[in-house]
């Protein structure tokens, strides 16, 4: 494993960007200088995060999300031992 989080990561196991090992390690996201804990997916190179919109669900039962653009800085919550 590397010491830097991946460029793109998703919480949804059906996504090609899902990585259970990285999520188990704990990844935090700083968006436009603020800590965010409701991020469903992020992309550093494209400069966006996908966040849940309230408690709304789509027709498949997945949370409704919106894409917000800005500066994305992922980091690991705990240091690797």
Q: pLDDT 10s digit of each residue in the chain, 81 long?
A: 578 999 999 999 999 999 999 999 999 999 999 999 999 999 999 999 999 999 999 999 999 999 999 999 999 998 666
Here the contacts of 32-41 (C-beta below 8 Å, separation 24 or greater) are: 32/70, 32/71, 33/71, 39/11, 40/10, 40/11, 40/12, 40/65, 41/8, 41/9, 41/10, 41/11, 41/12, 41/15, 41/17, 41/65
Which pLDDT belongs to residue 71? Answer: 98
pTM score of the predicted model: 0.88
> What is the model's pLDDT at position 3?
83
Question: What pLDDT is attached to residue 78?
Answer: 80
Q: Give the residue from 17, 2, 9, 12 showing the smallest Cα distance to 72.
A: 9
State residue 50's pLDDT score.
98
């Amino acid at each position: 494993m590397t010491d830097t989080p991946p460029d793109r990561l998703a919480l949804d196991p059906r996504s090609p960007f899902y990585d259970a090992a990285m999520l188990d390690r704990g990844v935090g996201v700083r968006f436009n200088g603020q800590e965010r804990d409701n991020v469903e997916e992020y992309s550093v190179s494209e400069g966006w995060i996908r966040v849940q919109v309230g408690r709304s669900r789509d027709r498949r039962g997945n949370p409704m999300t919106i894409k917000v653009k800005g500066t994305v800085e992922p980091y690991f919550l705990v240091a690797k031992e």
